[in-house]
Structure 1
């Protein structure tokens, strides 16, 4: 079985179609996506603000420090700020 690699543009087009309430079947037919679970996965990544995942290669799980080179400096800084905000909120909760 061969893994299908989809371009970032395809993934973003899928998200735009989901935003206007297109069904998974319509999206799959229009973009050539083979499995509905792939559309659901991309949508979940979008909803969780995990946009860096759109740039990771097939078969490689995202780990700290890998895949960040493909993101622009602004996107890297935004991810770092989000991470620090989450850490800060966890510290606040643990000190209560």
Structure 2
């Protein structure tokens, strides 16, 4: 299985969509993200002020 590296821009787009009320599934479909937990981790990092981890 190949590891996918997402851009910082994609990660910020996830955060932007979450702030607008989109569901995790909607975000995954719109941005072609395969793993639900990845979206949740980026959202957690944003909420905890850890965007340097992006």
Shorter-chain TM-score bucket reads over 0.9
Stretches of 4+ moved more than 4 A in 1?
none
Gaps of 5+ in 1: 55-96
Q: Deviations over 1:7-56 (max 9, x none)?
A: 000000000000011001110011110011000000000001001100xx
Gaps of 5+ in 2: none
Aligned pair 1:28/2:50, yes or no?
no
Map of 2:12 onto structure 1? 12
Cα distance in 1 between the residues matched to 2:48 and 2:4: 23
Structure-2-length-normalised TM-score: 0.95
Aligned residue runs from structure 1 range 20-59, under 5 A: 20-54=20-54
The number of equivalent residue pairs is: 54
Cα distance in 2 between the residues matched to 1:10 and 1:2: 18
Structure-1-length-normalised TM-score: 0.55
